[in-house]
Amino acid sequence: MMWTHQPSGSRQQTLTGKNRKQECIMDTVKSLSPFFEPNGIAIVGARSTPGFGFGLPKNLRDHGWADKTYLVNPNGGTIHGYPVFKTLKEIPAPVDLAVVLVPAPAVPKVLGEIGEHGIKNTIIMSAGFAEAGEEGKTRQARARKIALSYDMQVIGPNCVGVVNTANAFCTTEVMPEAYTPGKLAVIAQSGVFGQNILERVNEYGIYVSKAVTLGNRLVTNEIHILDYLHKDPDTDTIAMYLEGSADGEQLRHTIVKVTPDKPVIVLKSGRTSEGRAATESHTGSLSGEDNLYDGMFAQTGAIRAETLDDFTTYCRAFATQPLPKGNRLGIITGSGSMGALATDCAIKNGLTVPPLSKRLMAVMKEGAPDWMNTKNPLDVGPSGLFPRAFNAMMEDPDFDMILAVIAVPYSAVRFRLTEFTIEDFFFGGTLPLKERKWEKPFMIAVVCHEDLVSNFRERAEPGTPVFNTPEQPVRALAALWRYQNWKNNHK
């Protein structure tokens, strides 16, 4: 396999599996823990006026990091009650993480001072490097040379740093709920994307363990972070947004080490020549031919999302659902058309929709109206047999995963929502869906008025994901199967 190699600067060269010339990058992750669990933090470029250097000290203080945070600005003074040191040398305690917020032209000089002070981990938030033209590329190359000369690990530039919910350490402003600990880790080349995906998954009750925004990847890149998260006990699933790879062959080796233990979900931009040009102007990335990435993700067991919606959907699925034993999908619905749409999507995505067993057909025919079919998809219409169908399918060993498609006219039920719960009406029993545990993957599509969708989400999520089209959950169930099938074939 041939790869487009893209060191963390701006050069591009061709690599093959055996003959490749690499720049000096870390063979293994020595220690990335100061990025997430620092003993002392120097904010270089703290400021008394609104901007990154203004809000970050207050954010750290509000989340319990005041006694480990030190502000640096040549003007001295105080900011948010912190004393401001004019130089790193004045800081009276050990520091193992520097956060740099000075203008881009000053970054190389500041990086040298950080190296001289013995700080080995740095986050550069400043923009104006390889993404900003030839002058920026030259500046980035100079900064990289300085960082490597001090054996420094650097996240950024052109990023917003990290989030660690286990200890509430965060170098960017996020919504309060984003501090809730979870088991999903996020790697994003784009800072804004990283914040956006946190907000998107948090909306569905899914929370993260750690998030890292890489920016231009001066030194530390997605390969190092993947390796770190592979060993992280707080992380069960890794979701990654890429614009290009720092080293395609090394990324392949790393993913194939991670995926036997943890699923890796990938959204990669730059599928077209125009998209690749956009990534270069965003984070200075050289994206590479997309078919190579498609092949690599398939070979390594990574789950590639086609769209941002699919990326979010897969995060929800892997964060909440068990892996299926097989690819046999059972569909229960009140609408034959929705069942047909779900079936088409299932077959297209590698699932099967097998017929009902004779036993299950007998269960469903008992007391059923003559017009009701006993096929898969199982269209119960307005028969009132949705709970029986659901429980029979969920218990049937011939189905590995279940999709319930709710499609009722809202006008027919909106005045009755106070008379029954969705559990009793559709699934049987009174225990809220969010409190029930399933032995096989189960998702719901509510193709109705938004009020009913919201009602289902309130009762079911996060444990049972709810969607507003049948195709979204089908693609998510198929992604769970693709990962399980890859694991089955790579034991």
pLDDT for res 270: 72
409 or 182, higher pLDDT: 182
pLDDT band at 342 (very low <50, low <70, confident <90, very high): very high
pLDDT for res 272: 66
User: Which residues are 185's β-sheet partners?
Assistant: 238
Nearest CA to 311 among 173, 155, 415, 204? 204
Which tokens belong to 4? 């487009």
The predicted model gives 370-396 an average pLDDT of 91
pLDDT for res 416: 72
Counting beta carbons within 10 angstroms of the beta carbon of residue 148, is it exposed (0 to 12), middle (13 to 18) or buried (19 or more)? middle
Q: What is the pLDDT of residues 289-322, one digit of tens each?
A: 788 899 999 999 999 999 999 999 999 999 999 9
User: Which residues are 379's β-sheet partners?
Assistant: 333
Domains in the chain, ordered, with CATH? Answer: 29-158 (3.40.50.720), 159-320 (3.40.50.261), 323-489 (3.40.50.261)
- Helices marked H in 264-329: 273-283, 290-300, 308-320
The predicted model gives 434-441 an average pLDDT of 91
pLDDT for res 21: 36
pLDDT for res 11: 34
pLDDT band at 280 (very low <50, low <70, confident <90, very high): low
Nearest CA to 162 among 119, 224, 214? 214
- Percentage of the residues of the chain whose pLDDT score is greater than 70: 90
pLDDT band at 110 (very low <50, low <70, confident <90, very high): very high
Counting beta carbons within 10 angstroms of the beta carbon of residue 398, is it exposed (0 to 12), middle (13 to 18) or buried (19 or more)? middle
- Percentage of the residues of the chain whose pLDDT score is greater than 90: 72
Residue 286 scores a pLDDT above 70: no
What's the whole-model pTM score?
Answer: 0.89
pLDDT band at 50 (very low <50, low <70, confident <90, very high): confident
pLDDT for res 282: 44
The predicted model gives 207-219 an average pLDDT of 96
